[in-house]
């Protein structure tokens, strides 16, 4: 455990806040620090077509979108369906 120094008046305010929220100053400060320190996330890089193995290349392009390219979310298709149905 490490110690830090802060102004007495600020500590008194932090202690009152922590007490009102059923926690300790130490727990509250630790939670604040944890909230603002970025968590390490594993970053994945998508491979290019040339980097894929031959086994995967045989499946490349297998799945085609059912909607038109200008309707990637299917909103036009949904509107057309609902218009024709109702």
Q: What is the pLDDT of residue 67?
A: 56
Q: What is the pTM of this model?
A: 0.43
Q: Which residue has the tokens 């038109």?
A: 68
Q: What is the pLDDT of residue 59?
A: 78
3-class SS at 77? helix
Rounded CA-CA distance 26/11 in Å is: 11
Q: State both tokens at 49.
A: 């077509």
**Long-range contacts from 56-64, C-beta under 8 angstroms, 24+ separation:** none
- Report the candidate in 28, 37, 30, 34 with the shortest Cα–Cα distance to residue 2: 30
Domain ranges across the chain:
1-38
Q: Which residues of the chain have a pLDDT value below 70?
A: 61-69, 71-73
């Amino acid at each position: 455990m490490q110690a830090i120094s802060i102004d007495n008046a600020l500590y008194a305010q932090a202690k009152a806040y922590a007490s009102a929220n059923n926690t300790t100053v130490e727990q509250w400060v630790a939670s604040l620090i944890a909230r603002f320190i970025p968590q390490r996330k594993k970053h994945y890089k998508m491979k290019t077509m040339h980097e894929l193995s031959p086994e995967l290349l045989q499946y490349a392009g297998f799945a085609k979108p059912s909607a038109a390219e200008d309707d990637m979310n299917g909103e036009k298709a949904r509107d057309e369906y609902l218009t024709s149905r109702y």
